[in-house]
Amino acid sequence: MAIERIAYRPWKGGFRGPLMRFWPIARLGIGLILKRKLFWLFLVISLFSFLFNSAIIYLIAQIQGQTGIRLPRDMRNLQTEFLFTGTGKAYREFISFQSTVVMIFLAFAGGILVGNDFRRGAIPFYLSRPIGKIEYFLGKFLATAILTTFITLVPAVVLFIEYGAFTESFAYYTENLRILGAIVVYGALVSLVPAVLLLGVASLLQRTIAIVFAWVGLFVFVPAAVNIVRTICNRRGLGDYWVLGLADIWANLRWISGVLFGIREEEYAESWPLAALALAAACLIAIAVFWRRVSAVEVVR
Amino acid sequence: MDLFRLHNLTRRFGRVLALDCREAALPPGAVGLLGPNGAGKSTLIKVLLGLLDPTRGRAELLGLDPTRRGRAIRARVGYMSEGEMFAPGLRALEQVALAGELCGMPRRQALRRAHEVIQYLDVGEARYRPVEDLPTGLRQRIKLAQALVHDPQLLILDEPTNGLDPGGRRALLELIRSLHGRFGKSIILSSHLLEDVERVCDSLLILQDGAMLACGPKDDLRLQVRDRYRVHLRGDVNPLFAALAAQGVTAVEPPRRTNEGWEAVLEGPQGWSTARIFELLDGSRDQGAVLRSLVPEREKLGDLFRRLTAQTGSQTAGPREVARGH
């Protein structure tokens, strides 16, 4: 049998259409994150909270439902305290807690997902293929969003299903469809808004340390500064400058979640469209920064 | 259809005019983009790929307008950039497969094709190592594999031999030559190294400080050097050379042995006619010198570049840099 010399061979296979070309970028991003042990730690931490709530739902259902024993008052207080009551507020608090993990997770993920692409010449690599900035953005956004929804939205929906399952009737689901909708929308918001913001910040700063500092500034210092200013203004009788709260992304998310879950205890709840606008503006700025930064050509002036 | 066409194309970065090309068009083949560093070669490539919009004018690559059909162009073109161009954290094989996937290849097929191209480029088992850990020569090959994975019609190679040792450079140029010669790929080779362009390309577009100095087939651009001829001979050539020397014909390049016999560049005195060489050959027939070819000698690329820059009155450091590879 003759051994043929290896020669160049033309490609005889086909090509897929342009629609899903962002998927390899997203898959690669998820793979890069999951290669790091640190991110598994964040995922495990987020899982703890979910498992704790899940176990409590199960435990209470067992005690109340199967043994018929009514929980003592202290225990009921404990249940309310820990917010696994199956109400909208419970899910909101659960998602809000998870979103804290998301923020820490994203602070460290930005450098790997986006920053390294800038620093190691991957942008020309991507953009010299038949894809554009849109596919690159979608790929990176999807990678971030998939990871964050697995921390926030997915566990919250699972808790909702579990809680309903232990009531042994469909009434919980039918009566609380609004809560399910709120979980989906709020879960998506706390996952997707930070994901978009991260793309902007990471494309601008690129290095993990810088991104972490910016993230801390955005999600810790700005809210703290807003609270301090509002408190000072209140104490001095200058009035409540609640509008300042629009600079606080946490506050905006919480504001909107109050409306979504039908929780009326929030101040200025009726002004939630302003909070939505503030979030939209922040996302638009992040997208604009990302758009401007992502370029196959680096102009050295 | 032309490989590319430029119509009064300019590109500015702020106040800096990075590219200024008049009318130019070249047919498919191996085209050399020649010019010193900063001449505008990479800018032109990026405009042709649709990665940069021209400030003024128009360009066409493979009959398509890059400003509107950039993706369609990039689907038909394999681009190997001058700098590092890798997605971080991947092994060489994954890198090439990812390039294929981004061009629309299904994942499994992209992986299979990546193996095939890497095998062809002789990367061997290094394909399983992270790209960051590979030596420069292999990294350049992986960049070429990325450009080649989707079997493009045209390869645009921006300084492909950068950082390579002479052996690696020769091997890579040989590969590029075979892709053009044996497999019919059109090539745009951008380089500041004359030898690279000389070896691979049959057409040239010469740039200096962003301005296009010349564009056309290599042999049309190079002037014939007056009274100078390149000859290929077989047999015992010494008596012929002695007879030529007696007529005042000197060997500009000393005769050198080739696989087929001898090669020399001869320069005759003013008014010397090539007919004399045939008369001498007729006279020395018994001694067995056979003339295989006699072609007018053309100027070298370095000389061509110097002549063009002198014509435009350019006083930059360009020619020296360009001559570096000579």
Mean pLDDT of A169-179: 85
Averaged pLDDT for residues B2-12: 92
pLDDT, tens digit (0-9, with 9 covering 90-100), for A62-106? 777 666 666 666 666 666 655 567 778 888 888 988 988 898 889
Contacts of A112 (CB under 8 A, 6+ apart): A32, A33, A36, A208, B89
Answer yes or no: is pLDDT of B252 > 70. yes
- Of A6-10, A48-52, B127-131, B263-267, the least confident: A6-10
Q: Is the Cβ of A65 closer than 8 Å to some Cβ of chain B?
A: no
CA dihedral A53, A57, A59, A64 (to 10 degrees): 150
Name which of A25-29, B105-109, B113-117, B298-302 the model is least confident about. Answer: B298-302
The crossing angle, in degrees rounded to 10, of helices B275-283 and B238-246 is 130
- Rounded alpha-carbon distances, angstroms, from residue B25 to B1, B59, B68, B170: 10, 10, 19, 29
Weakest-pLDDT range from A72-76, A108-112, B203-207, B270-274: A72-76
Of residues A21, A121, A125, nearest to B104 (C-beta): A21
Contacts of A236 (CB under 8 A, 6+ apart): none
Residue boundaries of the structural domains of chain B: 4-221, 224-298
Does the domain made of B224-298 have the CATH classification 1.10.287? no
- Which chain B residue has the Cα nearest residue A135? B102
Nearest Cα of chain A lies from the Cα of B85 at a distance, in angstroms, of: 5
Q: Point out the least confidently predicted range of A267-276, B68-77, B97-106, B110-119.
A: A267-276
Using a CB-CB distance cutoff of 8 angstroms, which residues of chain B are in contact with residue A25?
A: 102
User: In whole numbers, what is the pLDDT of chain B averaged over residues?
Assistant: 85
Q: How confident is the model at residue A254 (pLDDT cuts 50, 70, 90)?
A: confident
**Does the pLDDT of residue B6 top 90, yes or no?**
yes
Put simply, whether B102 touches A (Cβ < 8 Å) is yes
Q: What is the mean pLDDT of residues A243-253?
A: 86
d(CA B112, CA B262): 47
Question: Most confidently modeled of A66-75, A184-193, B252-261?
Answer: A184-193
What is the per-residue pLDDT for B324?
Answer: 37
Question: Would you state the pLDDT for residue A27?
Answer: 94
**Average confidence (pLDDT) over B151-160:** 93
- The pLDDT of residue B47 is above 50: yes
Given an 8 Å threshold on Cβ–Cβ distance, is B86 in contact with A125?
yes
Choice among A27-31, A44-48, A58-62, A223-227 with the minimum mean pLDDT: A58-62
What are the pLDDT digits (tens) for B278-299?
Answer: 877 776 655 667 888 888 887 7
- Mean pLDDT is highest, among A2-11, A113-122, B56-65, for B56-65
pLDDT value at A268 more than 70: no
**Of the partner residues A15, A112, A299, the one whose CB lies closest to the CB of residue B105:** A15
From residue B142, how far is each of A66, B75, B136 by CA, in Å?
A: 65, 19, 10
Q: Do A15 and B119 touch (CB under 8 A)?
A: no
Distances (CA, A) of A116 to A183, A206, A291: 33, 7, 17
For A33-45, the pLDDT digits (tens) are 999 998 899 888 8
**Which residues of chain A have a CB within 8 Å of the CB of B51?**
124, 127-128, 295-297
Higher pLDDT, A276 or B319: A276
Q: Does B254 touch chain A (CB under 8 A)?
A: no
B220 band by pLDDT with thresholds 50, 70 and 90 = confident
Element housing B8 (H / E): strand B4-13
Nearest by Cα to B67 from B16, B18, B19, B6: B6
Q: Which of A7, A16, A121 sits opposite B83 (nearest CB)?
A: A121
Strands B203-208 and B186-191: unpaired
Q: Are the beta carbons of A131 and B102 separated by less than 8 Å?
A: yes
User: What would you report as the CA-atom Rg of chain A, rounded to the nearest whole angstrom?
Assistant: 23
Structurally, what CATH architecture does the domain formed by B4-221 represent? 3-Layer(aba) Sandwich (3.40)
pLDDT band with cut points at 50, 70 and 90 for residue B151: very high
